[in-house]
Amino acid sequence: MFTKRSVMAGAMAAVMSLPLAGAALAQDLQEVKIALGWFRNGQYAALMAADVEGYFKDEGIAIELLDGGPGKNPIAIVGVGQADFGVVFGTSVFRARLASTPVDLTAVGAMIQGGPYAYIRLADKGAPEPTPKDMEGKRIGIQSDGEVFLKAFAAANDVDYDSLQVQIVQGGAEPLLTGQVDYFSGWVTNQTFQIETETSAEDAPDSIRGKIWQGMLLSDYAVNSYGDVIVTQTRTVEENPELVEKVLRAVARGLKLAEEQPEHVAQIVAAYPGQLDSEEKMIWRMTSGVQNGLAKSDATREHGYLWMEPEVWKEYQQFYLDTGEIDRVMDPSEFSTNAFNPGIKSD
Amino acid sequence: MSERRGKRAGAMGAVASTAFKVLLPVLSIFGLWYLVIYTSELPRFVIPDPKMVLLSLVENRALIAEQFMHTLKVAGAGFLLSNVLGIGLAMLFVSLPVSRNAIMPAAITIRNVPYVIIVTVLALAMGDGFATKVTVVTLAGFFPVLVNTYRGLRAVDPIVLDRMRILDASLWEVFVKVRLPYSIPFIVAAQEITGSASIVIAIAVEWMISRTGLGYVINQGMMAYEGELVYAVALVAAVFSFVVYSVIHYLGQRLNWAESNDP
Amino acid sequence: MSVPVVIRKIGRAYGAMQALADVDLEIGAGEFVSFVGPSGCGKTTLLRIVADLEKPTSGEVKIGGANPKEVRRQKKLGLVSQRPAVLPWKRALDDVKFTQKITQRVGYPADQLLRDFGLEGHERKKPGQLSGGMLQRVNCASAIAHDPELLLMDEPFSALDEMKREEMGEWFARELETRPRTVLFVTHHIDEAVLLSDRVVVFSASPGRVYEIVAIGAPRPRDRSFRESRIFIETTARLRKMLFQDLEAGR
C-alpha cells in the first residue's frame, strides 16, 4: 500500500518538484500512517515524542497520526489499508484473526505491558491498599463490556461474585465521585486524573475533597494482557520487514525517552498539534510514574521495550476461551512476532 | 392622530409579544436547569452551572465559531442533497411507477439501517472526510423528503387531473403547475424534520469520526473533563436547530397554500 | 361554433359489470341534451367516454366526425365537474385565466365571466375563502373560459342552493342564445333538465341503456314564466312518472 503510494508520490514530486509537494516528499521520507485507538492524547506520548525528536525521520519516515474516536476501529482502518500501522487493545488482535471474516493483521509490539484496566476506589490519604476481598458486598460500577472481567477477577481472588452489587456505568469517573458506586472500573492512566482533579478542586464537595484513589489492576490480580499493541497487515510483515523494524525502533526510542526525561516529553507532547491532554494532565501522566510503569515489565528489561511474551498471549486467549468469548485459540506465533524488536531495554 | 397612536401601540405590542415569545423559552430552560441543580444536589462536574457554561461559551467562542462553520457546511450540504435525492426520487417514482418498485425497498432499507453503522462502513470505504459526513447526513435525511414529496405529488385531486386532461395540458405543465404546488405543504413538513435532523446527525458523525466540527468539540470537552464546554456546544446546537426550524417553518407558511389565506 | 355528436353502439364493462350497453344517440350541433336516470345508469360514464377520460369497451363516439381524443387535443372540450376542480392556491380570477393559459384560447374576458357568475368582488379570493356555491360558480367559469365547442357538464349545479341554481341555469340559457354550442348535461334535477334542454335522454340502469328520449318543444329564450307553462308541468310530470314509477318497477 505505502510502497505503491510512495512510488506515486515520488513520481509526482519528480514531475512537480515544487515547494508545494510537501516537506515529507521534498526530503524523500517515506510516508507512514498510524491509526490510533483513540484521540491523540498522552497515552500515545511515545509516538509523538519520537516524532518531535526526529526518531522517525532518522529512519527515513514521516508519520501521520490518524485519530481514533467513538466511531473508529483501527483494526478495520489498517485492514482496508487506510493506515499502515494501528495501535489497538491486545484483545482485538486475536479476536480480529479468529473472527468469521478475519482481518489478517500481526502484532509487532506492545507499548503497554500490562493492561491499565483496574478497579478503582476513593480512599483517605494513608489508607491501606485495597484487596479484592474488600469488594464483597459493595457497589461496583463497570462498563457494559466489563462483566467477564469482573467475574474473572472475582474467581481468581476468591471473591463472592454474588455479593457484588454490579451497576453498568459510562466511562467517566462521575459515579465514583458522586458516591453512586464504591468501586469503578477504569484505566489507571485516564480516569484517575479526573479523580485527582475533582478531589483537589477548590469547590469540591466535602464527600470527596482531599481523597486519593487506589486501584487493583486486572493484569496483576486476574489475567495478564497487553495494551496499545502495534499491528500491521501480515503482508507488510512479510513484504516489507525493514519498515516494521524502522517504526518499532523509533517507537522504542520514544518510550525510552519518556522514561528518562518525563518532564521534557510531557512538554513536547502537550504542544503536539491536535493533542488533547492539557499540559497539567501531561505532566501528571508522565511524572506520576503510572504510564511509564505500565510500559515496562520483566520482558522489557530482558529483551527491550515492546516485547510480547507468548505465554502472556496464551494466558490472555485462554481467559477469553474460558469466558466463552472466543471458541478456539491460536498459537501466538501466528498473530504476533518479536522478530522486529529493536532491543532497546528498559530499566 | 389617534389612529396613528393606535398603530404605534400595536407595533410595540407586536415587538413585546415577539420578545416575550423568545424570552419565555430561554427563561424556562435556565429556570429548569437551576431547579435541577438545586433539587438534585448533583455536583458541578455532572451538571455545570449555566453561568459557567455561558462563560465557557464566551471563552471558547473562537473555537466554537470555527468548528460551527464546519458543522454548518456538512449539515447544509447534507440537507441540500437530502432534498435533491428525496424530491428527485419522488419525481421519478411518480413519472415512472416501475422505478418505485425497484428503488423503494433499497430506500427503506437504507432508512432502517442505524446511521452509526452507515458511518462505520462509509468511513472505511471513503475515509473520514467531508464527503463521508455529507453522505451520512444525506442518507439519514432524504427519506422523509422522499415519502412526503411522493405523497404530495400524488395528493392531487383526481378531478383536477381530469380538468388538466380536458384542457390538454402537457405532462410537464401538469407536473410543474399542479403536482408540484400540491406537494409543497408536504415538502415543507419534511423540511422541518430533515432540517433539524441534518444538524443533529452532522454533529453525531463528527463526534464519531471527525477531527472537525461541533461533534469534535464535544470530544475535546469530554477528554479534558470540561463539562461546561460540552454543554456550551449543546446550547449552540440547540439554538441553531431551533433557528433552522423556525426559519423553515416561517418560509413554509409563506409557501404553503394550505396555510396561507392572505387575500 | 358548435359540433354534432354521434354515439354509436357504446358499451362499457368494468370486469363482469356492464355499466353501459348499446347506447345510440345523435346530438345535433348546438343542441342541449340532458341525461337523467337512476344512479348507476352510466350517464356519467357516457359523459366521460365522450370527454375521452375513459375508453368504451365497444362502439364509437364521433364529435364533428372526429374521435374524442382528436377533439380534446384541439382543446375544443369543456368539462364542468361535479366537485370544483379549482386549484387550491389560485385566486378565482387566476383560476379562470389558468384555463386560458393552458389552452391558449381566451373565450371570454375572465373578469367579465366572473361578474356574469355573480362573483364580483370575490375575484381575488382563494378557494379556502369562498363558499361552496361560489366555488362551484368559479368552477363553471374556469370550465368554459376557453369557449369550448362541446360542453360536458356533470351535475354542475348540485352544490348550489335553489336560487343560485336557477340563476346559473338562466345565465347558461342566455349565454347559449348568443353563442350557441352543443351541451351534454348530466343531472338529477328534472326541472333543471326540462328548463335547459332541447331533449332529455332517460336512462335505465343495470346495464345503462337509453330508456326514452323526450323532446322539449318549447321556444327559446325561456324565462321564469316557462316554469308555469303547460309544457313544463306536463313534461316534468311525465319524466317523474318514468323515473320514479316505471323504472323503479322495472327493477
pLDDT digits (tens, 9 = 90+) for B80-130: 999 999 999 999 999 898 999 999 999 999 888 888 889 988 988 898 899
Question: What tens digit of pLDDT does each residue of C40-90 get?
Answer: 888 999 999 999 999 999 999 999 999 999 999 999 999 999 889 999 999
Query: What is the overall mean pLDDT for chain C?
Result: 90
Question: What tens digit of pLDDT does each residue of A87-103 get?
Answer: 998 888 999 999 888 89
Domain region containing A210: 117-221
Query: pLDDT at position C55, please?
Result: 94
B67: pLDDT strictly greater than 60: yes
Confidence of residue A191 (pLDDT cuts 50, 70, 90): confident
Please say whether the beta carbons of B172 and B144 come within 8 A: no
C250: pLDDT strictly greater than 80: no
| Mutation target vs B (from C79, C96, C139; most B CBs, 10 A cutoff) | C79
- Range C193-219 average pLDDT: 91
CA distance to partner chain A, nearest, from residue B15 (Å): 42
**How many percent of chain B have pLDDT more than 70?**
94
Cis peptide before C221 (omega within 30 of 0): yes
Query: pLDDT at position C78, please?
Result: 94
Among C66, C63, C46, smallest CA distance to C55 is for C46
Helix (H, G, I), strand (E, B) or coil at C201: strand
Tell whether A76 is covered by a domain. yes
Query: pLDDT at position C216, please?
Result: 92
Confidence of residue B62 (pLDDT cuts 50, 70, 90): very high
| Residues in contact with B114: Cβ distance below 8 Å, sequence separation at least 6, in sequence order | none
CB pair distance less than 8 Å for C53 and B166? yes
Query: pLDDT at position A65, please?
Result: 96
Q: Which backbone phi and psi does A113 adopt, to 5 degrees? A: -85, -30
From the list C72, C85, C124, the residue facing B159 with the nearest CB is: C85
Please say whether the beta carbons of C232 and C226 come within 8 A: yes
CA distance to partner chain C, nearest, from residue B263 (Å): 6
What whole-number distance in Å separates Cα of residue B126 and Cα of residue B103?
Answer: 23
Residues of B in contact with C52 (CB under 8 A): 165
Among A320, A92, A332, A318, smallest CA distance to A227 is for A92
What whole-number distance in Å separates Cα of residue B93 and Cα of residue C3?
Answer: 40
Query: pLDDT at position A12, please?
Result: 39
Query: pLDDT at position A15, please?
Result: 37
Shortest CA distance from C125: residue in chain B: B263
CA C162 vs CA C70, C130, C159: distances in Å? 37, 18, 10
**Domain stops at, among A221, A238, A264:** A221
Among B237, B241, B238, B152, smallest CA distance to B190 is for B152
Query: pLDDT at position B159, please?
Result: 93
CATH 3.40.50.300 spans which residues of chain C? 1-76+150-161+174-251
What are chain B's partners, defined as 3 or more CB pairs within 8 angstroms? A, C
CA distance to partner chain B, nearest, from residue C46 (Å): 15
- Range B240-255 average pLDDT: 86
Query: pLDDT at position A1, please?
Result: 38
How many Cβ pairs closer than 8 A exist between chain A and B? 57
Residues of B in contact with C82 (CB under 8 A): 159
**How many percent of chain A have pLDDT more than 90?**
59
Question: What tens digit of pLDDT does each residue of A13-30 get?
Answer: 333 333 333 444 546 899
CB pair distance less than 8 Å for C53 and B177? no
CATH classification code of C1-76+150-161+174-251: 3.40.50.300
Q: Alpha helices, DSSP H only, in C79-229?
A: 92-103, 110-116, 132-144, 162-178, 190-196
HEC string for A40-104: CCHHHHHHHHHHHCCHHHHCCEEEEEECCCCCCCHHHHHHCCCCCEEEECHHHHHHHHHCCCCCC
Shortest CA distance from B179: residue in chain C: C87
Tell whether A277 is covered by a domain. yes
Confidence of residue A205 (pLDDT cuts 50, 70, 90): confident
CA distance to partner chain B, nearest, from residue A200 (Å): 13
Higher-scoring residue by pLDDT: B215, C220: B215
What whole-number distance in Å separates Cα of residue A99 and Cα of residue A329?
Answer: 11
**How many percent of chain B have pLDDT more than 90?**
50
**Domain stops at, among A165, A195, A221:** A221
What's the residue count for chain A?
347
Tell whether A346 is covered by a domain. no
Higher-scoring residue by pLDDT: B15, A273: A273
Query: pLDDT at position A319, please?
Result: 87
Q: Do chains C and A touch (3 or more CB pairs under 8 A)?
A: no
CB pair distance less than 8 Å for B219 and A82? no
CB pair distance less than 8 Å for A71 and B209? yes
Same structural domain for residues A100 and A239? yes
Q: Which residue has the cell 516489507?
A: A240
Query: pLDDT at position A19, please?
Result: 39
Residues of B in contact with C143 (CB under 8 A): 163
Shortest CA distance from A206: residue in chain B: B43
Global pTM value: 0.77
Query: pLDDT at position A3, please?
Result: 40
Q: Is the dihedral of CA A263, A264, A266, A267 positive or negative?
A: positive
| Mutation target vs B (from A36, A178, A280; most B CBs, 10 A cutoff) | A178
Same structural domain for residues A216 and A204? yes
CB pair distance less than 8 Å for A71 and B43? no
Please say whether the beta carbons of C182 and C5 come within 8 A: yes
Higher-scoring residue by pLDDT: B46, B90: B90
What whole-number distance in Å separates Cα of residue B93 and Cα of residue A1?
Answer: 43
Highest CATH level, class, for B49-255: mainly alpha
From the list C77, C83, C88, the residue facing B159 with the nearest CB is: C83
Confidence of residue A188 (pLDDT cuts 50, 70, 90): confident
Shortest CA distance from B220: residue in chain A: A276
- Range B24-48 average pLDDT: 82
C-alpha cell at A13: 514530486
What was the ipTM of the complex prediction?
Answer: 0.91
Q: Alpha helices, DSSP H only, in chain C?
A: 43-50, 68-73, 92-103, 110-116, 132-144, 162-178, 190-196, 230-241, 247-249
Query: pLDDT at position B259, please?
Result: 58
Question: What tens digit of pLDDT does each residue of A67-78 get?
Answer: 998 888 899 999
Q: Which residue has the cell 511515545?
A: A46
What are chain A's partners, defined as 3 or more CB pairs within 8 angstroms? B
From the list B165, B168, B178, the residue facing C87 with the nearest CB is: B178
Query: pLDDT at position C82, please?
Result: 87
Same structural domain for residues A106 and A235? yes
Residues of B in contact with C51 (CB under 8 A): 162, 166
CB pair distance less than 8 Å for B207 and A70? yes
**How many percent of chain C have pLDDT more than 90?**
63
Query: pLDDT at position B7, please?
Result: 58
B162: enclosing H helix or E strand: helix B158-166
Question: What tens digit of pLDDT does each residue of B192-244 get?
Answer: 889 989 999 999 999 999 889 999 999 888 877 788 899 999 999 988 998 89
From the list B162, B168, B261, the residue facing C129 with the nearest CB is: B261
Single-letter code of the amino acid located at A188: V
Question: What tens digit of pLDDT does each residue of C162-179 get?
Answer: 888 888 788 778 777 777
Shortest CA distance from B173: residue in chain C: C102
| Residues in contact with B234: Cβ distance below 8 Å, sequence separation at least 6, in sequence order | none
**Domain stops at, among A187, A221, A255:** A221
CA distance to partner chain B, nearest, from residue C125 (Å): 6
Shortest CA distance from C86: residue in chain B: B160
Tell whether A347 is covered by a domain. no
| CATH number of the domain residue A82 falls in | 3.40.190.10
Tell whether A342 is covered by a domain. no
What whole-number distance in Å separates Cα of residue A265 and Cα of residue A285?
Answer: 10
Tell whether A194 is covered by a domain. yes
Ramachandran bin of A289, using left for φ above 0, alpha for ψ from -120 to 50, beta for the remaining angles: left
CB pair distance less than 8 Å for B165 and C98? no
Cis peptide before C207 (omega within 30 of 0): yes
Higher-scoring residue by pLDDT: B181, A20: B181
What whole-number distance in Å separates Cα of residue C25 and Cα of residue C71?
Answer: 18
CB pair distance less than 8 Å for B223 and A70? no
